[in-house]
Amino acid sequence: ATPRNLTIAGTDYPTDTWTNVPQSILSQYGRKLHIQPDHPLSITRKLVESRFPGFRNHNTLPGVVTVDQNFDSLGFTSDHPGRSRTDTYYINKDTLLRTHTTAHEVDVFRQNSSDGWTLSADVYRRDAVDRSHYPVFHQMEGALTWDRSAFASRQACMDAIRESFDKLPKHDLVVEDPNPTFHAERNPLQDKYHSADEAEIVAAHLKRSLEDMVVAIFTAADKALIASGQSSESEKDPLKVRWVEAFFPHTSPSWEMEVWWRGDWLEVLGCGVIDQPLLIRANQLDRIGWAFGIGLERIAMLLFGIPDIRLFWSKDPRFLKQFTDAGPMKRFQPFSKHPPAPRDVAFWLPKTLKGDVVAETPASTASAPNSAGGQQTSSPRNNAVEAELAFHENDLMEIVRTIAGDSVEDVRLIDSFTHPKSNRRSLCYRIEYRSLERTLTTEEVNEMHERVCGEMVGRFGVEIR
Ligand code: PHE
């Protein structure tokens, strides 16, 4: 049962039918890993910040925000899938745990305290359970704007942006950028507010700035790899960047940046030319500029070779003592490997009167890691949120996390079929129990697994097969 109030960082919030944030999530609230000295997330944050000299760094904004801050003020439509209770942790119908650092853009722009700023923080999303997803992760937002009213003319402002662009560090990165800047439907020019030339120079400045940032990150990653003996100079294949058309409610045009590093295309960040109505809401009537959002775990995992996202939350000195703010970056050395304990749960979904009960297609394997540009833009999911007994894959994820805590590594759909006669749907998930710190006993794994099955029956009326 939901308590009448939730206390978060000393403040009481009334609950209602929207409340879906469990105690297990609230217990992680306020760890502030991104500013914990010598923590790999903090080291990563500082590395990114160092590529934006003169920017103001906001790193302590609280994670409880309004629906208005997180969605409405950013132009999210009322039916946007990111708002769903299957994806987002609500404290009540008006209040939630921020799902992205963009939630603070309007407030920071309203302060108008610096042209350039970054903002790092913990963000919260209901999501898959695997080695690259955790319901709490960290993002960094960055933005740079120019106040056109401070220049003699709009042309003079464009000249200043061009001049700033020319001073940005040069690089020899291979850049693939095949699409035109604008696309009439998907990525229109905001022609009510600025010209194509203005948007083009802002976009060029954005791309060059972020290319410089990834060169710095991946050069550091290569150095650490080579220093650890895990790779050699000769194995280094040239870094490449690819700009992919994207969609965000708060930028247009928008891109995702992908980086080719050591054999893989990695989705690294989302960015774009800031939505002008957003700036106007912040009382910045004449500003124009760019913004990006980057997931810090993803980058830190690559930089340090950290294989499992749960490690960031570890208080084990064998983990924490490996990293330091000072001196060259060192790769993570695994300190223990404990055996996995897989258990399957197969069940029939109940037939409800309230429409289809559906689950995800095997998404856990396909979904992007905790990052930016991921879930907040995903197409509507195949779910039935409002039906009483409706089951969404993220509900199972949460049951498993609540019961097993950090002793679960991965949950994935391994089988799904619909009985041809009864039309009933059967799903089978494989749950990989494994602790990073010790070997789990058979008894404790069985006990956790029985509780998971029990919750599935109790909460969703499934029939275990
Ligand atoms: N808010 C986006 C996300 O979390 C990332 C983003 C930030 C994109 C700023 C563009 C500009 O997915």
Q: Where in the chain are the domains? A: 31-63+98-320, 341-464
User: What was the pLDDT predicted at 384?
Assistant: 37
pLDDT digits (tens, 9 = 90+) for 89-146: 999 999 999 999 999 999 999 999 999 999 999 999 999 999 999 999 999 999 999 9
Counting atoms of ligand 1 from 1, which one is nearest the CA of 102?
1
- Token digits of residue 21: 């944030």
Q: Which atom of ligand 1 is nearest to the CA of 274?
A: 11
What are the CA-CA distances from residue 399 to residues 96, 265, 296, 359, 394 (Å)?
20, 33, 26, 15, 9
| DSSP E strand boundaries for 226-303 | 240-248, 251-261, 264-274, 287-295
User: Which CATH entry fits the domain spanning 341-464: 3.30.70.1560, 3.30.70.380, 2.130.10.10, 3.10.20.600?
Assistant: 3.30.70.380
- Rounded to the nearest angstrom, the distance between the alpha carbon of 102 and the centre of ligand 1 is 6
Residue 128 CA to ligand 1 centre (angstroms): 20
- Residue whose Cα lies nearest atom 4 of ligand 1: it is 372
Instruction: Output the CA 186–ligand 1 centroid distance in Å.
Output: 16
Which class is 31-63+98-320 in CATH? alpha beta
Using CB atoms within 10 A of its CB, is residue 93 exposed (0-12), middle (13-18) or buried (19+)? middle
CA of 257 to the centre of ligand 1 (A): 12
The predicted pLDDT at position 371 comes to 74
* Sheet strands (E) in 77-173: 90-92, 95-97, 116-124, 136-147
Query: Can you give the pLDDT at residue 388?
Result: 44
- List ligand 1's pocket residues with C-beta within 6 A: 100, 102, 141, 248, 251, 254, 270-272, 291-293, 372-374, 376-377
CA distance 195 to 189: 8
Closest ligand 1 atom, CA of 269? Answer: 5
Quick one: pLDDT at residue 1? 73
Q: Give the distance (Å) from ligand 1 centre to CA of residue 270.
A: 5
The whole-number pLDDT of residue 336 equals 81
DSSP state of 30: T
Structure confidence at residue 23 (pLDDT)? 92
Given ligand 1 and candidates 250, 269, 298, which is best to mutate, with the most ligand atoms within 8 Å of its CB?
250
Low-confidence ranges of the chain (pLDDT < 70): 352-369, 373-389
In this predicted structure, what is the pLDDT of residue 96? 98
Which atom of ligand 1 is found nearest the CA of 123? 4
CA distance 125 to 270: 17
Residue nearest to atom 5 of ligand 1 (CA): 293
Which of ligand 1's atoms lies nearest the C-alpha of 295? 4
